[in-house]
Amino acid sequence: MKPLRMIIVAVGGQGNLLASKVLGEAALIEGVEVRMSEIHGMAQRGGVVESSIIFGDASSSIISDGEADILLGFEPAETLRAIARCSANTKVITNTATLPPFTVGIGKGTYPEVDEIKRVLKEKTAGLVAIDAMALAREAGSPMSVNIVLLGALIQTGALGFSKENVKAAIKRRIKPALVEMNLNAFDLGFEAAAAGTV
Partner 1 sequence: MHKLLKDSPGEKIMLLGNEAIARGAVEAGVAFATTYPGTPSSEVSLNLFQMSRESDLYFEYSTNEKVALEVAAAAANSGLRTFCMMKHVGLNVAADPLMTLAYIGVTAGMVILTADDPAMFSSQNEQDNRYYAKFGHFPMFEPSCVAEAKDMIKEAFELSETLKQPVILRTTTRINHSNAFVTFGDIKERQTNGRFERNPMRCVTVPAVARRLHVKLLERMDKAAGMSEASAFNFVTGQGVWGVVANGVSYHYALDAVKDLGIESKVKILRPGFSNPMPKDKIKDFLSGCEKVLVIEEGEPFMEEAIKAFAQEAGLVIPIQGKTDTLFTSLGEFHPAMVRENIAAFFGIDFTPAPKIDTSDIPEIANRPPNLCSGCSHRATFYAIKKAAQGMDVIHPSDIGCYTLGFMPPLSIGDFVICMGGSVSTSCGFSKATDQKVVSVIGDSTFFHSGITGLVNAVFNRHNFTLVILENGITAMTGHQPHPGVDMELMGMDGYGRVNIENLVKALGVEHVSVIKPFKVKKSIETLKEAMAFDGVSVVISQEPCILWAKSIKLKKPRAFEVTDKCTDHKECINGIACPSFYIEEGRVKIDADTCVGCALCAQICPENAIRPLK
Stretch that binds partner 1, among 100-108, 150-158, 160-168, 182-190 (CB under 8 A): 100-108
Residues 6+ apart with CB under 8 A from 59: 35
**Nearer of residues 15 and 24 to partner 1, judged by Cβ:** 24
Please report, as residue ranges, which positions from 153 to 192 form the binding site for partner 1 (by CB under 8 A).
none
47 binds partner 1 (CB under 8 A): yes
Stretch that binds partner 1, among 105-113, 145-153, 156-164, 184-192 (CB under 8 A): 105-113
**Nearer of residues 40 and 164 to partner 1, judged by Cβ:** 40
With CB under 8 A as the contact rule, the residue among 1, 38, 141, 199 that binds partner 1 is 38
Identity of the residue numbered 102? F
With CB under 8 A as the contact rule, the residue among 30, 69, 78, 188 that binds partner 1 is 78
Residues 6+ apart with CB under 8 A from 35: 53, 54, 58, 59, 60, 61
60 binds partner 1 (CB under 8 A): yes
Question: Do the beta carbons of residue 13 and residue 40 sit within 8 Å?
Answer: no
Could you tell me the smallest distance in angstroms from the CB atom of residue 3 to partner 1? Answer: 8
Could you tell me the smallest distance in angstroms from the CB atom of residue 120 to partner 1? Answer: 6
With CB under 8 A as the contact rule, the residue among 7, 70, 80, 137 that binds partner 1 is 80
102 binds partner 1 (CB under 8 A): yes
120 binds partner 1 (CB under 8 A): yes
101 binds partner 1 (CB under 8 A): yes
Neighbours of 145 (CB within 10 A): 29
Binding site residues, partner 1, CB under 8 A: 11-12, 20-21, 24-25, 28, 33-42, 44-48, 58-67, 77-78, 80-81, 83-84, 86-88, 100-113, 116-117, 120, 124-125, 143
